[in-house]
Structure 1
Amino acid sequence: MNARVPATKPKVDLSFVLTPILQVPDVQHAMVITADGFYEAHSGLDTETAEKLSAVLASLLASGRGTSQTYYGGETVLRQVMVETYDGYVFVIPAAEGTYLAVFTGPGVAMDNVSYEMQKQVQTLGKAMVSPPRGDVGRAPSGDDGRSA
């Protein structure tokens, strides 16, 4: 019996994509979150806060997608959600494979610098999350070329 064990993708440390964003003046925190409300990386928030923010941001994203799809049509793609308060801004953009990049800033941040750095890091994140294809996918086990006798 040659049972196949499903391969699991090891979790990748994604915190390296947050570092350049955190160097933008007045950026306070950054996170990589999933669409279902979990975090993959964050910039030093306590665990409870990171978990709560991930869940809240997932709801915000769902509301943004629902709003844009209802108004613009079912095939529209959400590009960004932004929240503005007197204390600062929250930016959230799609990243790779069901993940999003969220950045929290103070009120005086240069929004164009944040946007630019976020777009750069989303590209980096996409490359980090894509693993190269395995060479043995689709090939028969050794000694069996897949042909019947």
Structure 2
Amino acid sequence: MNARVPVTKPRIDLSFVLTPILEVPDVQHAMVVTADGFFEAHSGLDNETAEKLSAVLASLLASARGTALTYYGDDSPLRQVMVEAFDGYVFVIPAAEGTYLAVFTGPGVAMDNVSYEMQKQVQTLGKAMVSPPRTDTAR
């Protein structure tokens, strides 16, 4: 009898990507989320909240991608989604393939500082999530 064993990918510790963003004044939390609604990393949220936010962000991103595609066409990929509330902002930008970086802030945040730091960390994240090439090609 062949038992099916669930296959899981090893989790990469991505906290090093979130730490510099959290140093920007008035940034409250940061997350790395997947397009299908899961989190890869978060900055101290409880897991239940992180799971809910991941699902909501996936829906938000799908709507934003659909809006951009419908209005601008295939040649206009999504660059950023921003939500403004009375209590602050949520910024979401594409990161490595199929993942996004989300940052939650208070209302007094310097948006340019957040955007700058997010772009820097997305470059770092992309490098961290790429698998190195195999060197043991002999069978």
TM-score, normalisation: structure 2: 0.91
Q: Over residues 49-103 of structure 1, what are the superposed CA-to-partner deviations in whole Å (9 max), with x where a residue is unaligned?
A: 0000000000000000000000000232000000001100000000002110000
Gaps of 5+ in 1: 1-6, 142-149
Aligned to 1:125: 125
Whichever of the two has the greater Rg, that structure is 1
Query: Displaced runs of 4+ in structure 1, greater than 4 A?
Result: none
How far apart are residue 8 of structure 1 and its match? 6.8
Gaps of 5+ in 2: 1-6
- Could you tell me which amino acid in structure 2 is paired with residue 37 of structure 1? G
Following the alignment from structure 2 to structure 1, what is the Cα–Cα distance between the partners of residues 17 and 133?
Answer: 23
Matches within 5 A, 1:19-30: 19-30=19-30
Instruction: Give the aligned CA root-mean-square deviation in angstroms.
Output: 1.4
1:89 and 2:89 equivalent? Answer: yes
Aligned to 1:11: 11
Matches within 5 A, 1:22-101: 22-101=22-101
TM-score, normalisation: structure 1: 0.85
Following the alignment from structure 1 to structure 2, what is the Cα–Cα distance between the partners of residues 125 and 26?
Answer: 22
How far apart are residue 135 of structure 1 and its match? 1.7
Residue identity over aligned pairs, in percent, reads 85
Aligned length: 133
Following the alignment from structure 1 to structure 2, what is the Cα–Cα distance between the partners of residues 135 and 9?
Answer: 20
